[in-house]
Amino acid sequence: MKDSTGRKKEDKRKPYVKPEVKQVPLRPEEAILGFCKTATVAGPLSSACATLSCLTPGS
């Protein structure tokens, strides 16, 4: 393509890059705050942690 003075315009567009799909892993078990965060939880669960699924602390 030429500009108004007749010179050829430099193509400043970015080179075409083919789109690609990237997967980013989601860990729902971490994201939902379903488990005890530490094994030292107070309250009614303090004595129960050893017998619950929350034995493995969530993150």
Enumerate binding residues for another protein (CB under 8 A): 22, 24-37, 40-45, 48, 51-54, 58-59
Least separation in angstroms between CB 7 and another protein: 34
Q: CB-wise, 1 or 42, nearer to another protein?
A: 42
Least separation in angstroms between CB 43 and another protein: 4
Nearest to 56 by CA among 39, 31, 33: 39
Residue 30: partners with Cβ closer than 8 Å, 6 or more residues away? 58, 59
Q: Nearest-5° angle of CA 17, CA 24, CA 39? A: 160
Q: CB-wise, 6 or 28, nearer to another protein?
A: 28
